[in-house]
């Protein structure tokens, strides 16, 4: 009976988590859910939950050493497993029977674009005149930053190569 009650409680817990995930699923691409879930990755409740959201458990080793048969009940579930690297467990002595989970993540950035300008034909007087003639009249219009940046860049391009 105890095992059945634990499964019912776990199922009701995951039903609540699913409500939140369903609400945010259309707004976000990747999710991460972690903690002491008190479910083994092999339990049907957690397997069904993970299958529903294409989640993977990133924790591979045992995390709970309460009995002579260590288990993995502290989980990191994600549908973006490529974003987490080198997940492992470590005994720290801070907990009575749980290991600490360590993981590293990274955000893949796009390439940096650098603009190099040549100043061989740059004439400061003409540049300043052009800036004053094109920027000052537009200040009362309260240009938003992107429009201001576009304007400055277009003037720079005319005076540098």
Q: Name 100's bridge partners.
A: 90
Residues 92 and 135 in one domain: no
Residues 138 and 88 in one domain: no
For residue 111, is it within any domain? Answer: no
For 37-111, strand residue ranges (E) read 56-57, 74-78, 84-90, 100-105
For residue 30, is it within any domain? Answer: yes
For residue 87, is it within any domain? Answer: yes
Residues 61 and 139 in one domain: no
Residues 155 and 85 in one domain: no
**Domain ranges, residue 9:** 2-105
Residues 33 and 88 in one domain: yes
Burial of 14 from C-beta contacts in 10 A (0-12 / 13-18 / 19+) = buried
Residues 42 and 6 in one domain: yes
Q: What is the pTM of this model?
A: 0.56
Nearest residue to 29 via CA among 53, 11, 7: 53
User: Domain count of the chain?
Assistant: 2
Question: pLDDT tens across 13-72, in order?
Answer: 888 889 989 999 889 988 988 887 777 888 888 899 889 999 988 888 777 777 777 777
Question: pLDDT tens across 105-155, in order?
Answer: 766 778 888 878 788 888 889 888 988 888 878 777 777 888 888 888 888
Answer yes or no: are the C-beta atoms of 83 and 105 closer than 8 Å: yes
| CA gap 128, 141 in Å, rounded | 21
């Amino acid at each position: 009976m105890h095992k059945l009650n634990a499964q019912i409680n776990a199922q009701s817990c995951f039903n609540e988590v699913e409500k939140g995930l369903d609400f945010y699923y259309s707004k976000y691409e990747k999710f991460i859910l972690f903690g002491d879930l008190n479910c083994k990755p092999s339990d049907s409740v957690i397997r069904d939950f993970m299958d529903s959201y294409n989640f993977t458990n990133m924790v591979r080793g045992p995390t709970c050493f309460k009995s002579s048969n260590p288990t993995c009940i502290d989980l990191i579930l994600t549908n973006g497993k490529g974003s987490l690297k080198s997940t492992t467990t470590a005994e720290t002595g801070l907990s009575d029977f749980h290991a600490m989970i360590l993981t590293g993540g990274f955000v893949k950035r796009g390439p940096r674009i650098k603009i190099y300008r040549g100043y061989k034909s740059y004439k400061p007087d003409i540049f300043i005149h052009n800036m004053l003639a094109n920027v000052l009249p537009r200040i009362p219009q309260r240009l938003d930053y992107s429009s201001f940046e576009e304007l400055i860049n277009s003037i720079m391009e005319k005076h540098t190569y």
